[in-house]
Amino acid sequence: MTKAHKTDVRSRYKVLPGTTVDLKRIDTSETGAFKSPKEGKKALKKRRKQLRDLQERFYAWNQKAMLIVLQGMDTAGKDGTIKHVMSGVNPQGVTVTSFKQPSSEELAHDYLWRIHKAVPKRSMIGIFNRSHYEDVLVVRVHNLVPPEVWERRYEQINAFEKILVENDVIILKFFLHLSYDEQARRLQARLDNPEKRWKFSANDLKERALWDDYIAAYTDALQKCSTPYAPWYIVPADVKWYRNYVVGQIIVETLEEINPQFPEPERGLDAIKIV
Ligand code: AMP
Ligand code: MG
């Protein structure tokens, strides 16, 4: 793999604010400059080790929180990414929140209420498996609220995320971009594998039938809500090891730039001898 590629993963996949996104023209199956899966998996392993060290510093540093948003169609690999990228990281410094259909109590509040409560505190890395973006995705596709309600949400989400960023939350948003064909293979694999069957829901097929509507909704979310302070990244997700590598690499690059440091120890410790 070339050095140019290695140092360029963030800018390669970032949605530049104000640009148009055409998801159909973005390759979901690319594997970057790796010559083999073996090479890619080795790079991921290295990223994981770097992430473990960086997270330890980030936790001790205690100056900022990091919010990682994962979105994608069913089977795009939201769970798998969390498992593979974060394995080895100290669980004390990480929270994972999976957003399901809102409860009646959640529905009685504004849609950001449950989200804000789950935002990580300083020192923590918080991962959202689905997020407030469902409120402009599934909610829009299924007409759960009228258009004039969800149309306002893009701006509201940008304002909400700005408040978080201005209050020490670093935000990274990943859209795991899967192809229609690869989803078919993965759904079939869920049906065929007894240990994966529990993940299959007949509802997945109903959602699959709405693929184009979801693509349209995702396109708007990516275009309207990729901001300089909270960018979206479009991650090719057909090849699992590459998807994991890209997400890991972008988190590592971001943390390296922040360069968290262990706090200064108390003065005078040199003179202390424990007896
Ligand atoms: P899973 O991630 O497979 O466990 O499924 C969670 C389900 O909850 C998905 O079908 C989501 O679309 C749905 N969901 C998540 N957030 C919302 C929301 N705000 N409104 C309606 N459905 C949602
Ligand atoms: Mg599901």
Nearest CA to ligand 1 atom 5: 100
Query: String of b and e for 131-146 (b: at least 16 CB within 10 Å)?
Result: bbbbbbbbbbbeeeee
Judge whether 177 and 72 are in contact, CB under 8 Å.
yes
Q: What is the pLDDT along the chain (275 residues), one digit of tens a residue?
A: 545 455 589 999 999 999 999 999 999 999 999 999 999 999 999 999 999 999 999 999 999 999 999 999 999 999 999 999 999 899 999 999 999 999 999 999 999 999 999 999 999 999 999 999 999 999 999 999 999 999 999 999 999 999 999 999 999 999 999 999 999 999 999 999 999 999 999 999 999 999 999 999 999 999 999 999 999 999 999 999 999 999 999 999 999 999 999 999 989 898 899 99
Judge whether 131 and 69 are in contact, CB under 8 Å.
yes
Residue 275: how many CB atoms within 10 A of its CB? 3
CA-CA-CA-CA dihedral for 239, 242, 244, 245, to nearest 10: 180
Mutate to test the pocket of ligand 1, among 105, 129, 138 (most ligand atoms within 8 A of CB): 138
**H helix or E strand, kind and range, residue 66:** strand 65-72
Residue 196 CA to ligand 1 center (angstroms) comes to 19
Which residues does a 6 A CB cutoff place in the pocket of ligand 1? Answer: 99-102, 130, 134-135, 138-139
Go through the domains of the chain in sequence order and give each one's CATH number: 3-15+35-260 (3.40.50.300)
- Residues that place a CB less than 5 A from ion ligand 2: 74
Residue 50 CA to ligand 1 center (angstroms) comes to 32
Judge whether 90 and 54 are in contact, CB under 8 Å.
no
* Counts of helices then strands in the chain (DSSP H, E): 13, 5
Residue 218: how many CB atoms within 10 A of its CB? 23
Residue 47 CA to ligand 1 center (angstroms) comes to 30
DSSP 14: B
Place of tokens 């065929």: 192
